[in-house]
Chains A and B, each alone.
Chain A
Amino acid sequence: MESNPNDYHISFFKPTTDSARRNRNMVVQLVLIWAVAIFGFHILLKVIEKPTPEPAWNSYQEVREEIEAGSTDPEVLRQASQSALSVLGKVAIDPGHREALDNMISWSAYNITDSAGRVLLMQKLESFETIAASTDNPISEDYVAAKNELIPLLQGIFGLEMTDVRGKIAAVEVKTSLMQSPGQETIQQANEAIDLYLIHNRSALTDARLLGFPFHYFYTAVFLLILFVGLCWLYCVRTDMFNRKYGIED
């Protein structure tokens, strides 16, 4: 490095030699690409996102007021229960929310059925609950058989297709102990859960697809990592080139 021996100052932003200047420019370029690719993209994601409800949320809105008013109309209860089951099928939900929603669907199941259907439902539910309480093995024959008897019954009650996974979720969420009419507080909690779990931040970047991925997910989980390896590779190749050009020995 050709510098005045009395000086001996080094600063990244004030290079004194040609090679240091080139290194600085290259580092600045790469850091800029790195920063824009990570933070720029996420700021863009934040700027263009819109809270977007799932169809289940929209469907619940149609009956929300009637549910709050304590409606027992089977159609209303069925529609609300379908939305509640859409939340109950999500993996991680708060236990308080779960209980409120369980109460909502259990009460609905009780009210949707006519008196003959209700006897059958209670009988099947009670026998399933008895078996469930006595085993800790969810693949034991008795347990599975009792559950399988319950599923078609609940599919019918809630108006769900055979291929709709919510029918099978209902079997473990409808409980005889939660069939009392939900109070205002419980309805409030259920509403809160439906708002919390069924509205998401979406945009054109999250809805587009690439190689099967949601685009933004591909970008972050796959592309950014490729970019990082690429940036490192580029740096090494260019540093090797500079070093050869300036005759620098490592």
Chain B
Amino acid sequence: MAATGATHLEGSFKVGPAIILITILILFILVGIFFRAKDTTDFYAAGRKISKVGSGMAIASNWMSAASFLGMAALMYGSGYHGLAYVVGWTGGYVLLLILMAGQIRKYGKYTAADFIGDRFYSKGLRAVGAIIAILISISYCVGQFGGIGLMFKWVMGINYGMAVIIGGAVVLTYTLISGMLGVTKNMQIQYIIIIVSFLIPLFILTAKFDYFWLLPQIGYGSVVSDVVAGLPINETKELINSLGHDFAIVPAPEFAMPWDPATGKTFFQWIAIAFSLMIGTAGLPHVIQRFYVVPKARDARWSVVWGLFFICILYWSAPAYAAFGKILSAHPEVGTLAKDAIVVYTAQLGDIHPLIVGFLAAGGVSAAFSTVSGLLVAGSSAFAHDLYVRVINPNASPKKQLLYARLATILMAIIVTLIALKNFALIGQLVAVAFSLAGCTIFPLFLLGIWWSGCNKQGAIAGLITGGLISVIAITYFIAGKSGLQLPAHDFISYWLEAWYFAWIGAPLSILVNIIVSKLTKPTPVEIRKFLIEQVHS
């Protein structure tokens, strides 16, 4: 059949949403200019004055990316309860991060994750490896974001995905370079508010329109989930329809909410492995850890996590509602196959929400991706310019040269990310999860043991890193081979137990174990470092 809802929803160039999108991006840059910190002192002074709530918003804005905004609902829409492993994984990790690391990281007082690794394990080589891993994590994290930006640009401009990724990539690169030149800005709170407001408005409208408890959609959608499970007959008293004229009705679909449902092809093991990998990955992501270096006091570092997590949860409590509404609104086969990663926007469209509000929603998704991408590109390029180039390759580099290398690294990274994103390997949430597993296998063990056990030494760190790195390489090689149609030995076995989005479930514990064994067998950590740990970090 030629008539499908999907093509109809996609449509052509959308003027309203395009204007909203451009306005918001310009607004971010203007806010950056007007609220620009004059120098580093000003920034730290502002940091001291900023409330815990404010820095919580900054953490949330830094964290919430296309994976949170678009990817989570997509996973739940496609695989039901399985998607909640991502919701739990991306929030539960903050508990670990806070109680095991945040305060201590602040007290350690370095600037980047590679700085910490190089210093704690007294090794230039490890610093370089740490920097390279940080760059790889940034790249892999950005791929999913570029995918999200591509999908939203495709929707706004009515062009094909490949073109949209290239245009979106160019825009985000320009944006990063401009905001990078503005220096340290304080617009993170404004970004958070735009992201969260654009995400919530359609939910209030949807719950009100379809007769659910709308005052708190995060609770109100519970009945939507139950309706999907039990099935919803056609309403005879009220005409509840979607924008394509289909009834707001669905056959019983328990596969949406029942755990590891056979119809989704997902298992109990996968649920647990994903939740675990994402949680330890959270506590090992360089751009997340680095946030704690800039807060003035350890106490502020701790409290900002509480507020940050709360603000993140507002989005995470809401995302499943899009999946549930999306399920009913797209239940008629005529709607056709929708790109899962755009389901948030399609749900709003199918719910017949005003096009400008849908445009604002799409712009919110782009903003979420932009704020994260620019942070990641900056983190990656500074890992290159600061940790690799200056600290390892050319210690006498002039600041001007350093800046030039940082810019070049930003551009190079954006090109690499665009090329990978064009391949459209997997869902946004899954692609981002690869970065988490990578961080969980490599950086998390080094921070955990480095902070809490003075016995962990350079040799142990190297051995642990090789173990975690090896597992990462195997998992990612099998993933890419699978996507390229190559069958490697024991393909099904490895692809299931070491799938690219959860290989840290085994990689991290193994890396920790090897690290401990080798540390025990080799020369102890130098006394200066042990002394520093006791007197500075754990005082």
Contact = CB atoms under 8 A, between A and B. Distances in A.
Contacts of B68: none
B1 A172 contact: yes
B539 A225 contact: no
B134 to A, nearest CB: 25
Contacts of A250: 103, 107, 297-299
A89 to B, nearest CB: 3
A222 B317 contact: yes
B143 to A, nearest CB: 24
Interface stretch (B18-26, B146-154, B261-269, B380-388): B261-269
Given A38-B92, A200-B261, A222-B218, A12 B453 contact: yes
Contacts of B453: 10-12
Interface size class of B (residues with CB under 8 A): 35 or more
B414 to A, nearest CB: 33
Contacts of A137: 3, 8
B333 A139 contact: no
B299 A240 contact: yes
A235 B534 contact: no
Given A164-B234, A168-B246, A196-B263, A236 B331 contact: no
Given A30-B95, A235-B98, A212 B219 contact: yes
Interface stretch (B302-310, B426-434, B476-484, B492-500): B302-310
A54 interface: yes
A9 B524 CA distance: 10
B254 A200 contact: yes
A36 interface: no
Contacts of B249: 163, 165
Contacts, number: 246
A169 interface: yes
A232 interface: yes
Contacts of A200: 254-255, 258, 261-263
B305 A225 contact: no
Nearest to B529: A8
A11 B8 contact: no
Given A91-B253, A165-B247, A197-B263, A138 B454 contact: no
A99 interface: no
B452 A138 contact: no
Contacts of A90: 251, 253, 255, 263
Which of A26, A169, A226 counts the most B-chain CB atoms under 10 A from its CB? Answer: A169
Interface in B282-304: 297-299, 302-303
Which of A26, A56, A221 counts the most B-chain CB atoms under 10 A from its CB? Answer: A221
Interface residues of A, number: 86
A216 B317 contact: no
B8 A139 contact: yes
Nearest to B304: A236
Contacts of B29: none
Which of A172, A173, A201 counts the most B-chain CB atoms under 10 A from its CB? Answer: A201
A201 B259 contact: yes
Contact of A34 (B95, B259, B261): B95
A138 B327 contact: no
B233 A165 contact: yes
A31 B218 CA distance: 27
A214 interface: yes
A239 interface: yes
Nearest to B220: A212
Which of A31, A39, A86, A168 counts the most B-chain CB atoms under 10 A from its CB? Answer: A168
A222 B313 CA distance: 9
Interface of B: 1-5, 7-8, 77-78, 81, 84, 87-88, 91-92, 94-96, 98-100, 103, 107, 213, 218-220, 222-223, 225-226, 229, 231-236, 244-247, 249-255, 257-263, 268, 271-272, 275-276, 297-299, 302-303, 305-306, 309-310, 313, 316-317, 320, 327, 330-334, 452-455, 527, 530-531, 533-535, 538-539
Given A42-B272, A232-B98, A250-B103, 5 more contacts: A10-B538, A27-B100, A86-B251, A135-B2, A173-B333
